[in-house]
Amino acid sequence: MSDMVDIEWNNFLKICCDNYPDESCAFLFAKTPFRITEKWFVFPVDNIATDKQHHWQPDKKQMVKVKKKAKALGLTKIGNVHSHPIPMNYEKIFGSKEKAIEHANSPSDDDIRYAQRFNDIVRGILVVDDKAVYAHCFHDQFGERLPDLYLNGVNVRKIVLDVELN
């Protein structure tokens, strides 16, 4: 088993599925960054991008509120997490759901560019549709995948909405 990271999702996984086919976004904070037993906190914010199905842009007013709340809790911003929705017509584009998930489960050029611009330590991607979270990818600012993460002993890749997340 890889490093254990406890993630407080704050309903973000459900938000991602509810917002499908649009992308959802959130910020990642940690109490004790760089420790194997660290805990991550996800703070969702609205996506105000013009093309929400292909891009995300956090609501700046909500971002300021989230950062104030995190600071009051003694948390450090380590990055962000957002969804990569599977296209509704995935069979036509990819031939199968599995191939669509595989394609969506990696950072885009924009993801890497913004990770470097904002000096994020961690960037997370959740592959979703309106029913479930199918896969994840956590990567650094250069697009290098981080080791598989586990939540309460369950590989995050196996998360679906009926898994206890909060």
Range of the domain at 66: 6-158
CA 76 to chain centre: 17
- Distance linking the first and last C-alpha atoms of the chain: 21
Q: Is 162 exposed, middle or buried (0-12, 13-18, 19+ CB in 10 A)?
A: exposed
As for how many domains the chain has, the answer is 1
CB 47 within 8 A of CB 57: yes
Report the chain (166 residues): mean pLDDT per 10 consecutive residues. 68 95 96 76 96 94 96 93 95 95 91 86 92 88 74 46 36
The tokens for 49 are 């991008």
Rounded to whole angstroms, the Cα distance separating 104 from 91 reads 14
Backbone torsion region of residue 95, taken as left when φ is above 0, otherwise alpha when ψ lies between -120 and 50, otherwise beta: left
Q: What is the pTM of this model?
A: 0.84
User: What pLDDT is attached to residue 148?
Assistant: 62
Residue 163 domain flag: no
Q: Which of 166, 159, 144, 164 is nearest to 17 (CA)?
A: 159
User: What pLDDT is attached to residue 29?
Assistant: 94
Residue 127 domain flag: yes
Residue 166 domain flag: no
Residue 22 domain flag: yes
User: What pLDDT is attached to residue 1?
Assistant: 33
The tokens for 5 are 């990271």
CATH number of the domain at 31, please: 3.40.140.10
User: What pLDDT is attached to residue 7?
Assistant: 85
The tokens for 9 are 């999702």
Residue 165 domain flag: no
Residue 97 domain flag: yes
